[in-house]
Amino acid sequence: MNFFKKLKEKITQQADSVTEKFKQGLAKTRSSFAERVNDLIARYRKVDEEFFEELEEILIAADVGVTTVMELIDELKMEVKRRNIQDTKEMQEVISEKLVEIYRGDDNEPTVLNMQENGLTVILFVGVNGVGKTTTIGKLAHKLKSEGKSVLLAAGDTFRAGAIEQLEVWGERVGVEVIKQSAGSDPAAVMYDAIQAAKARNVDVLLCDTAGRLQNKVNLMKELEKVKRVIEREIPGAPHEVLLVLDATTGQNAMSQAKTFKEATNVTGIVLTKLDGTAKGGIVLAIRNELNIPVKFVGLGEKVDDLQEFDPEQYVYGLFADLLEIEKEKTEE
């Protein structure tokens, strides 16, 4: 199993703790998606049209997205012809390979944050209320701080009751200061204060929270544009990242949110929270393929270190971990 062999080799080069987080975080998706794929392969002896129809249903149920599923099925059919695959057992590897390819697209580089080597990196967080935006900011602050970077937080969500306090709780928890004004203040004014503070203290990274009201898209756009203008005026080229936070458990609703925010602002990456809480982890592929926005981080649990950089190979390993471990045992016997 050539692809699985390469996949295992790549995984073993990374920290076991990362592999374990992806494995545990994707347990719900694996128990529905991978088990159904395995069952399908066990029931069919040959790769025919009925096999593909059932596979299509499984992929749609995992929230891979109809457009992405159609593309994937077409590519799988071509691959079956090209390799002259008769036995369904060979399909497990081909499906995994294509999932990684769909995610990677034309870009073979890992999706890392655009960090400035010299000077301040400004990261703007956008997303509707309740998706875990503030928690994500806190977890990323912890991650960056543990990597030796100095971090400052900007409490730009001045409208939601308790948003400033929630960010302050995270600030205290991870030992990072929060720049804030009173509730109801102009978010752009908060950003201005935060940038001045970050410059004065020679901070490496400024993480900026924003309001997440989607009731009036026009107002949201204007607000985000104003915030971005202030940041850009004070630091040319900033924000260096605009990360859209989405809740994986909302499935296709997350897709429509992504489309709205993509129109409102130049989203450079996605943070997909609560991936451990859904059986529909295929949403990762739908977002990447249909919106052409890289998923940069995924939330794989409640702990402070459960925010992980997204890795397509680790993701596919997480989906098929049980099968890969059976294969490993076979080779060791």
162 is in an annotated binding site: no
CATH code of residue 240: 3.40.50.300
Looking at the DSSP assignment, which residues form a beta bridge with residue 309? 297
Q: Is the pLDDT of residue 330 over 60?
A: no
Predicted local distance difference test score (pLDDT) of residue 263: 81
Percent of the chain with pLDDT over 70: 92
Confidence (pLDDT) at 298: 96
Average pLDDT over residues 252-269: 86
Q: Is 69 in the same domain as 43? A: yes
Binding site annotation covers 157? no
What confidence score (pLDDT) does residue 161 get?
82
The mean pLDDT value for 297-323 works out to: 89
Domain assignment present for residue 226? The answer is: yes
Q: What's the confidence (pLDDT) of residue 325?
A: 62
Residues 293 and 164 in one domain: yes
User: Are 94 and 130 members of one domain?
Assistant: no
Give phi and psi for 242, each to the nearest 5.
-120, 105
Measured on CA atoms in the order 163, 169, 170, 176, is the torsion positive or negative? positive
Q: Is 66 annotated as a binding residue?
A: no
Please report whether residue 126 resides in a domain: yes
CB atoms within 10 A of CB 87: 11
Q: Annotation-wise, does 213 bind a ligand?
A: yes
The backbone torsions φ and ψ at residue 21, rounded to the nearest 5 degrees and listed phi first, read: -65, -45
Give the pLDDT score at 191: 97
pLDDT by residue (tens digit) across 159-205? 888 999 999 999 999 999 999 999 999 999 999 999 999 999 999 99
pLDDT digits (tens, 9 = 90+) for 100-140: 888 876 665 557 899 999 899 999 999 988 899 999 999 99
Task: Confirm or deny that 134 is annotated as ligand binding.
Answer: yes
Would you say residue 115 lies in a domain? no
Same domain, yes or no, for 156 and 263?
yes
113 domain residue, yes or no: no
Please, what sign has the CA dihedral across residues 75, 76, 78, 79? Answer: positive
Q: Report the C-alpha gap between 254 and 245 in whole angstroms.
A: 9
Mean pLDDT computed over every residue of the chain: 89
Residue 53 lies in a domain: yes
67 marked as part of a ligand binding site: no
Together in a domain, 83 and 177: no
In the structure, what pLDDT confidence band is assigned to residue 5 with cuts at 50, 70 and 90? confident
- 3-state SS, the chain, equals CHHHHHHHHHHHCCCHHHHHHHHHHCHHHHHHHHHHHHHHHHHCCECCHHHHHHHHHHHHHCCCCHHHHHHHHHHHHHHHHHHCCCEHHHHHHHHHHHHHHHHHCCCCCCCCCCCCCCCCEEEEEECCCCCCHHHHHHHHHHHHHHCCCCEEEECCCCCCCCHHHHHHHHHHHHCCEEECCCCCCCHHHHHHHHHHHHHHCCCCEEEECCCCCCCCHHHHHHHHHHHHHHHHHHCCCCCCEEEEEEEHHHCHHHHHHHHHHHHHCCCCEEEEECHHHCCCCCHHHHHHHHHCCCEEEEECCCCCCCEEECCHHHHHHHHHHHHHHHHHHHHHC
Question: What whole-number distance in Å separates Cα of residue 217 and Cα of residue 231?
Answer: 21
Residue 116 is assigned to a structural domain of this protein: no
298 and 158 within one domain: yes
Query: Could you tell me if residue 114 is inside a domain?
Result: no
Q: Is the pLDDT of residue 333 over 60?
A: no
Residue 155 sits in the same domain as residue 269: yes
Q: What is the pLDDT of residue 106?
A: 61
CA angle centred on 53, ends 51 and 56, rounded to 5°: 110
Of the two residues 1 and 288, the one the predictor is more confident about is 288
Range of 323's domain? 2-108+315-332
91 in the same domain as 169? no
Domain total of the chain: 2
Residue 216: what pLDDT?
Answer: 62
In sign, the C-alpha dihedral spanning 40, 43, 46, 49 is: negative
210 marked among binding-site residues: yes
Would you state the structure tokens that stand for residue 179, as one six-digit string? 């720049």
Q: Is 2 annotated as a binding residue?
A: no
- What is the spatial distance between Cα 265 and Cα 211, in angstroms, rounded to a whole number? 13
What's the CA gap between 266 and 259, in Å, rounded?
11
> Both tokens of residue 102?
């769909």
* β pairing state of 205-208 and 151-154: parallel
Q: Check the annotation: does 83 bind a ligand.
A: no
Residue 217: predicted pLDDT: 67
- According to the annotation, is 129 in a ligand binding site? yes
Instruction: State yes or no: 127 annotated in a binding site.
Output: yes
Rounded CA gap, 227 and 187, in Å?
7
- Asked whether the predicted pLDDT for residue 326 surpasses 70, the reply is no
The CATH number given to whatever domain includes residue 22 is: 1.20.120.140
Q: Looking at the structure, do residues 51 and 170 belong to the same domain, yes or no? A: no
Q: Which residue has the higher pLDDT, 212 or 306?
A: 306
Beta bridge partners of 299: 307
The burial class, CB within 10 Å (0-12 / 13-18 / 19+), for 67 is exposed
For residues 139 and 266, state if they share a domain: yes
State yes or no: pLDDT of 234 exceeds 50.
Answer: yes
Is 216 annotated to bind ligand? no
If asked whether residues 212 and 325 sit together in one domain, one would say no
Q: Are residues 131 and 271 in the same domain?
A: yes
Does the annotation place 269 within a ligand binding site? no
Is 199 inside a domain boundary? yes
